[in-house]
Amino acid sequence: MVLPAAGRARRRLRGSGRHDMVSSGLVPGVARTLTYRVRPQDLVTTLFPGAAEFARKPAVLATGILVALCEWPAMDALRQVIGDDEDSLGTRVSLSHQAPVCAGTKLVVTARCVSVTGRASRWDVCARDGMRAVAGGWVEFTVVRTAAFLERHLLTPVGGPTFRGVRHQPTQEYVQDDWGLAASCGTASPSTMART
């Protein structure tokens, strides 16, 4: 069986325990574009139904959803050059949300690879609604071996198998404090942070 060059490189690197995406076929200049119609559940007003501050905002596309949309074409391009036992994980984002859009708007989102270093890649991204730029910036990804990543960080899907006898347990999603609901992950309490 003769594999395409990218497949041969991927197999060779898999055997060596390392992965170089340039050898696998990812080079600066590779680009992907997707078209997406904004759904009602993508709006900032629907992100956290129990959080009044989100609900009172204008019904426009949430920046967090826009970040995911800008990552999507880059992830699709990466999927073409990484192994089935690997995943691309976003590690850094710099995105400017430049214009509001509402449900029903069609977005064209493009990601273009600008650099590749070993397992890491950086992508310039932009989202347009046909008339104007909605967002622009860059995203970075690192390719990981999925099972090793989960094991190293003691993570497994809830109800899934265990690694080293430890099953991932979801943490309490929110804690109640003097300010109402606050995310439990890294949120300062009123006693450690002065109100502004």
pLDDT classification of 131: cutoffs 50, 70, 90? confident
pLDDT of 41: 95
Residue 81 belongs to what domain range? 5-153
Give phi and psi for 76, each to the nearest 5: -60, -45
27/117 same-domain check: yes
C-alpha pair distances (Å), 38 with each of 82, 95, 111, 136: 29, 18, 18, 17
130/167 same-domain check: no
Is residue 22 pLDDT above 80, yes or no?
Answer: no
Is residue 189 pLDDT above 80, yes or no?
Answer: no
What predicted TM-score, i.e. pTM, was given to this entire model? Answer: 0.69
181/136 same-domain check: no
pLDDT of 1: 40
Percent of the chain at pLDDT > 90 equals 56
Residue 97, domain member (yes or no): yes
**Total domains in the fold of the chain:** 2
**Structure tokens that stand for 161 in this block:** 């198998």
Q: What is the pLDDT of residues 70-122, one digit of tens each?
A: 999 999 999 999 999 999 999 999 999 999 999 999 999 999 999 999 999 99
Domain containing 57 — which CATH number? 3.10.129.10
Residue 117, domain member (yes or no): yes
Q: Are strands 106-117 and 86-97 parallel, antiparallel or unpaired?
A: unpaired
Give phi and psi for 41, each to the nearest 5: -75, -5
139/169 same-domain check: no
**Structure tokens that stand for 165 in this block:** 């006898």
pLDDT of 152: 86
pLDDT of 174: 40
User: Buried b / exposed e across 70-101, counting CB within 10 Å, b at 16+?
Assistant: bbbbbbebbeebbbeebbbebeeeebebeeeb
| Contact indicator for 118, 107 with CB cutoff of 8 Å | no
| Contact indicator for 72, 34 with CB cutoff of 8 Å | yes
Is residue 33 pLDDT above 50, yes or no?
Answer: yes
* CB-based burial label for 177 (10 Å; 0-12, 13-18, 19+): middle
108/131 Cα distance (integer angstroms)? 11
Is residue 5 pLDDT above 80, yes or no?
Answer: no
80/113 same-domain check: yes
